[in-house]
Amino acid sequence: MKTVQTIFCNNMAYGGVAYTVWELLENLRGQNLRRQLWYIGGDREVHRNYHRPAFNNFLWRASLKIPGTQAWQGWIVTQLAIRDIQAGDIAYVWPPYNLDFIRRAKNRGAIVVAERINCMGQTCKAALAQAYAHIDRSLPAGSFTQDWLANEIDQMRQCDYVTAPNDFVKRSLMEAGIEHDRILETSYGWSPERLSKSVNLIRPERAPVFAFVGSGIVRKGLNLLLKAWALAGIEGKLLIAGRLDHDIRSICARELARPDVQELGFVRDVASAYRDADVFVFPSHEEGGPQVTYEAAGCGLPSIVSPMGAGRIVRDGREGCVIDPFDIEAWARAIRSLAHDRGLRQRLAENASMRAQDFTWQRVGGRLSEIFDRVANGEKPIAAPSAFRN
């Protein structure tokens, strides 16, 4: 039996990437696969017998008060994990990646698979440079240095396989020199149980409610959405579920002050945001595979998204609109179209809900299990199932 040794040098506190790790591992199944999850610590209420935290909750919480602890905590996690790796195991590594660990795992006979939660840095840098230039600002100081970019490419080249949760990630890997047959096409997903109170709803007749779910940052394109919302001039409401950073507040103060824009801040119960909405909007500039888009579709919301924000779930206009995030007039037209046509919203919502059934975490985990089974048995990984493709 092969062991999938998942190395996550972060904490498993609620939300973010930790939630994705949790769902993928919980739904990973296979007759020849056994799970191990190595991580720093966290305060999840539910723990499994395959969880291997480096620190108990008390020590983990105490360490949060000490600046700069994550680096040495991550080092401890990798040291614990490397001792447990056997020849033939799959070392499933998540960012931040550790090149020394990757090499040592391969020396012990492991098959190293890197989870690529975003595009490669060079692609990210180009996309974000354009986004910041649009607001007459430079990229934040210290981001995407040449040494960092070179190290990232070296990390991926040293791995046996790298996942690609959308076509943009796949393209960025190939541009970085990763061979096609080393790229595993995957996706992220959504949980019907977690979002149960917002699934299969009959939404009331009302002035339509549009919802943005995610960090309120330039990378997610929220500034462009707010400009498009003001230009659309519809009767309705825009909900923003997520914390806003200083850049967004400074350049969009007028739009944020509008009475038809409502800030919700960080929303732990994200199902409530989808439940209260009629349309999902997400003009992101760079994503690996936006979980929120899968969740919105699962909750029966038509979407207006950027190509990066579409993931593998919005395709051919059957579940919503895919629009360049910089085309503010096109965004405004799409907002007006969905605001004024309830029948269109219903048709797109039905299509989105049906499409989302292929992307529950159970199905996503099952497909990843098949990929790992083939990798562990030395077989050529199959092309992504049709449900993974746009």
Q: pLDDT tens-digit profile of 79-134?
A: 999 999 999 999 999 999 999 999 999 999 999 999 999 999 999 999 999 999 99
pLDDT at position 68 is 73
Any residues with CB less than 8 A from the CB of 111 and at least 6 apart, and which? 88, 89, 90, 91, 160, 161, 375, 376
Q: What is the pTM of this model?
A: 0.94
Q: Is 33 helix (H, G, I), strand (E, B) or coil?
A: strand
Architecture of domain 196-359: 3-Layer(aba) Sandwich (3.40)
Sequence ranges of the chain with CATH classification 3.40.50.2000: 2-189+360-388, 196-359
Residue 270 and residue 284: Cα distance in Å, rounded? Answer: 18
- End-to-end Cα, the chain, rounded Å: 34
Host H or E run for residue 303: strand 303-305
Q: How far is CA 16 from CA 50, 186, 306, in A?
A: 21, 18, 21
Residues of the chain where predicted confidence (pLDDT) is lower than 70: 1, 43-44, 382-390
Maximum distance among all alpha carbons in the chain?
62
pLDDT at position 160 is 97
User: What is the CATH code of the structural domain delimited by 2-189+360-388?
Assistant: 3.40.50.2000
pLDDT at position 63 is 76
Residue 288 and residue 363: Cα distance in Å, rounded? Answer: 19
Burial of 92 (0-12, 13-18, 19+ CB in 10 A): buried
Reported as a single tens digit per residue, the pLDDT across 32-90 is 789 999 999 886 677 889 999 988 877 777 777 777 777 788 889 999 999 999 999 99
Q: Is 36 helix (H, G, I), strand (E, B) or coil?
A: strand
From the list 370, 379, 377, 381, the residue with the least C-alpha distance to 88 is: 377
